[in-house]
Structure 1
Amino acid sequence: MSGATIRQVQIAAAHDGDAELVVTLAYENGGVSHITLDEFAARTLLASCGTSSPDDLIGQSWEQVRDALVASSGRFAETQDTKK
């Protein structure tokens, strides 16, 4: 997956009404993937890229998206650990 970059970003509404980002990743071989980021992951991605505008994410590495997803899922793991 090296070389994949964000090609397009769309704002969408989640089932609960919160905003989500749908990120289109473009790969070197011409393939594309659509990744949906919840509000936490979207905010993490924007912050890690140093922007507040989804349009400024275009051209960023897929690794930024991966890291935002890890951060988002990690917050649930931390919550579960504190309940034990």
Structure 2
Amino acid sequence: MHEAVIQRIDIAAAHDGEAELLVTLAYPNGGAAQITLDEFAARTLIETCQAQTPDALIGASWLHVRDALIASSERFAGLPAENS
């Protein structure tokens, strides 16, 4: 099965000043997409892939990105919503 892989990694500052990873995925059909990972998701991705540096993520499956996004989102599960 052919799947998307990480093609490029960039580091950017989020609006709150925290570091984010900008992950570019390359698809087998030639398409590309950019995904922004917050600090928690970025750390999860790096740990899951056992990467020593962000650039070491290049070539990893997009499934690791998906799992990092899920882990980041789930850390808020069960917390009460903030009042507007």
**TM-score, normalised via structure 2 length:** 0.90
Q: Hey, what does 2:45 align to over in structure 1?
A: 45
Q: Hey, what does 2:28 align to over in structure 1?
A: 28
**TM-score, normalised via structure 1 length:** 0.90
Which structure 1 segments of 5+ residues have no match?
A: none
Over the aligned positions, Cα root-mean-square deviation in angstroms equals: 1.4
| Secondary structure of the corresponding residue to residue 52 of structure 2 | coil
Structure 1 segment 1-84 matched on structure 2, within 5 A: 2-80=2-80
| TM-aligned CA deviation for residue 52 of structure 1 | 3.0
Percent of pairs with identical residues: 63
Runs of 4+ with deviation above 4 angstroms: none
Q: Deviations over 1:60-81 (max 9, x none)?
A: 000000000000000011434x
Instruction: Give the Cα separation in 1 of the matches to 2:78 and 2:23.
Output: 26
Aligned residues: 80
Which structure features the higher share of helix residues? 1
Which structure 2 segments of 5+ residues have no match?
A: none
